Amino acid sequence: MTSAASTATGRPATSAMVRRLPEYLMIWVPLLLSAAHLISFSIWTIWISFTPSTLVPVAGWVGLRNYNAVLASRNWQIAFDNLLLFGIAFVLLSLTTGLLLAILLDQRIRGENVLRTIFLYPLAVSFVVTGTVWSWLLNPGIGIEKLVHDLGWTTFHFDWLVNRDMAIWTIVIAAIWQSSGFAMALFLAGLRSVDSDIIKAAQIDGAGPIRTYWRVILPTLWPITITVVVVQLQFAISAFDLVRALTNGGPGIATQLPALVVYDLMFQRSQLGRGAAAAVLMLLILLAVLLPYAAWRYVRGRQAAHA
């Protein structure tokens, strides 16, 4: 906006540059600093992953030995399988829950602000708190199962937290509780930005509410959907605090996730080289999600420019 204003008044370019100096400083200095930070540490981690480092970083070259050790370890294999399951289930379920909540809130109901705050509230709670609270709720001996038993339904069975086949789903539940409000907020903003003329036109054409949503409104939401998917996926891939507080990778090692493995190798087992290798593998998984997203944004940006 400032640039449009300055060209409109026709002031010399140099004085415009000087006037905009604070803006440049505000944007570029932090951007360069954080980029340097991010890139330098990433490169450093990649370097460490090829060294024989254990307690402290040391120089040396071991080739792919750390990678082979990590990929062959049971911990990593379990963590990777869990990541696939958790990532897909969590993203799909938080997406649908968020969308459903947004559509329900979009009905111009009374008390919308209060409800929206309630649904968004979990997002303000730290993952460690979420994990701890859910670890008590889901514990069969003291939580939901005990409550239902005390109410009289004694055959009720809900021991997912301590059942190694189902424990990963408790993380999905807690993660959805935490972050479907975020999806809801984005979707609600999307729903509100749909041109009311289009909706009216659909109604005039005789489309019922379900049909209107399905055929007219939801298709306009797909850019938001992709944003939500990418944000949630990068959370899923780097999930750490929630799992650590909720199951700590247990029962046994049944709910290991890659971030836990990295932390474990680096800081519990003092195997910096292997930990760095696991971290680089995590980075590759993240890139597998983010690069297509970046490409899609680029293509879309070009299309928009042409249009």
Partner 1 sequence: MPITTTRRRLLAGSAAALALPAFVRAQGAVKPRLTAISQWSAGSDGAAITALGKKFEEKGGVGQHSPVPGFTTEMMNKLRAQIIAGDPPACSQLKGPEIAAWSKIAPTVDLDAVVAAADYEKVVAPDLAKLHKPTGKWIALPLQIYSTNMLFLSKRALDKAKADKPPVTWADFNALAEKMKTNGVTSPVGTGGTRADDGQKFEASLAGISPAVYRSAIMNLDKKALEGPEVKAAFAQMRKLTEWMDPNVGAQPYATNLKRFIDGDMGMLIMGGWAQGVLKNAGFRLDDFIIAPGPSDNGKPVFLLNADAFIFWQRKEADLQAGQMLMAQLVMDPAIQTMYSQITGSIPVRTDVDLSGEGWSDGQRTTAAALKNAMGNNQAVLSLAHNMAQENGLTAAMIDVFTEYAKNKTIKPEEAVARLADAVEGAR
Q: What residues line the site for partner 1 (CB under 8 A)?
A: 54-57, 69, 72-75, 135, 139-142, 159, 161-162, 164, 247-248, 250-254, 264, 267-271
Closest separation in Å from C-beta 235 to partner 1: 22
> Look-up: residue for tokens 């409800």?
115
CA distance 247 to 131: 8
Nearer to partner 1, 159 or 205 (CB): 159
Q: How far is CA 58 from CA 47, 48, 300, in A?
A: 10, 8, 45
Q: How far is CA 77 from CA 68, 74, 83, 163, 187, in A?
A: 12, 5, 10, 19, 35
87 closest CA partner among 250, 251, 232, 260 = 232
Nearer to partner 1, 105 or 161 (CB): 161
Closest separation in Å from C-beta 186 to partner 1: 34
Nearer to partner 1, 137 or 226 (CB): 137
What is the amino acid identity at position 148? V
152 close to 146: Cβ distance less than 8 angstroms:
no
240 closest CA partner among 160, 164, 175 = 175
Closest separation in Å from C-beta 218 to partner 1: 41
Provide CB contacts within 8 A for 121, sequence distance 6+: 181
Nearer to partner 1, 157 or 302 (CB): 157
Closest separation in Å from C-beta 49 to partner 1: 16
Nearer to partner 1, 122 or 250 (CB): 250
Closest separation in Å from C-beta 109 to partner 1: 40
Closest separation in Å from C-beta 271 to partner 1: 5
Nearer to partner 1, 68 or 117 (CB): 68
> Look-up: residue for tokens 């005039």?
204
Nearer to partner 1, 168 or 191 (CB): 168
- C-alpha neighbours within 13 Å on the C-beta side of residue 217: 26
Residue 62 sits at the vertex; the CA angle it makes with 57 and 64, to the nearest 5 degrees, is: 110
Gyration radius of the chain's alpha carbons: 25
Closest separation in Å from C-beta 70 to partner 1: 10
Sign of the alpha-carbon torsion through 147, 152, 154, 157 = negative
